[in-house]
Structure 1
């Protein structure tokens, strides 16, 4: 399980306080809430990209003691962000972007998995659509066969058909690997169809 317990986190001040959440293998947990409620902050904590002020994160029973630096723990978690163009080096081709965590160029199987045709792999981000670039980002996130996948508003920039296709790829990956998924979205209809359960964060109190 990927578990956050009593997480208080933020930047200069706390954005979330005392939040607990568990993602079990093979299950999809939705995370909803208004803007500013701390969904992305919690996602970054669970992805080991942001150290909380307090609370603990556990991966399959192992407590995380360092953030950013625990490679063996970090590679168990794949992350897909909202804006693919901020996630990929603009100098990279899609082939290079997918291969980045692998350290080699054998990306054909991953490209096929996310339905990227070969002619797109040698294009750079400015030469493809948001949907095509997000497919490449999903392939990169799956490259190391993560035990857990965190999707932080991954469909915000996408049309309905691309959204359905990417969710289908993730579901197939889950069926094959028993991976757990945290799906963060403002789209209640999407979460109703995708998630096994949904956790809702409250708006922060006025300051």
Structure 2
């Protein structure tokens, strides 16, 4: 389980997050909703081990996280992958898409063109796109490459931070389908961050609302929406 407990993050005098707790359970999709500026992306970065909180703890599969970013143990870092809302700032503009997708594999000492092609096909990228650089493809095509990169090392937890916001409906549906299939196949835990409650209602097993304490979570089925107070339920 990936768990944040009592997390507080401050930027100067402003608290981006204050005493926030959240669990991402393997085999389930947790939705995270809330208004702009409530700290959803900040929480995503904390859970992805990219931002050290000012207070609180993060635990990854029972192991307390004591170091962050590149100082975190590699065996912990590779268990969590983060997919950003905007793909262009998240990639090196000099690299062709094949190298964008293959970055985690190269860093792990496992470069493999076959694996890159497999990931590209999985996310709906045609072979002719792999030699193009980010400025030569659309936002949707680049986000497909970013999802392929996020899945390259088969993370145990995948954090999708508004990954579909800038995409057309067909690309959105395809990428959500890829993530759903990956979660079902591997038993990974997924944190789906979005302001689109219709999307989260279809995708997530439960939805947590950030920015309206106490948090509210909802379990949604075809017949009912049940309010739950305990995030651990």
Query: TM-score scaled by structure 2?
Result: 0.85
Deviations 1:24-49 (A, max 9, x none): 00100011111111000111000001
Could you say which residue in structure 1 is the equivalent of 2:205? 196
Aligned partner of residue 108 in structure 1, secondary structure: helix
How many angstroms does 1:202 deviate by? Answer: 1.4
Tell me what 1:76 maps to.
Answer: 79
2:149 pairs with 140, 148, 171, which one?
Answer: 140
2:35 is the counterpart of 1:30: no
- Partners of 1:11 and 1:75 in 2: how far apart? 27
User: Considering only CA atoms, is the larger Rg found in Structure 1 or Structure 2?
Assistant: 2
User: Paired residues, what number?
Assistant: 204
Q: Secondary structure at the match of 1:202?
A: coil
**Structure 1 unmatched runs, 5+:** none
| Bigger relative CO (Cα 8 Å, ≥ 6 apart) | 1
| Counterpart in the other structure of 1:65 | 66
Match of 2:88 in 1: 85
2:178 corresponds to 1:169: yes
TM-score w.r.t. the length of structure 1 is 0.96
Matches within 5 A, 1:1-40: 1-12=1-12, 13-40=14-41
Unaligned regions of 5+ residues in structure 2, if any?
Answer: 214-233
Please list every run of at least 4 consecutive aligned residues from structure 1 whose deviation after the TM superposition is greater than 3 angstroms.
Answer: none
Choose the corresponding residue for 1:122, options 105, 119, 131: 131
Q: Deviations over 1:72-113 (max 9, x none)?
A: 211100110010011111111000100111112421111111
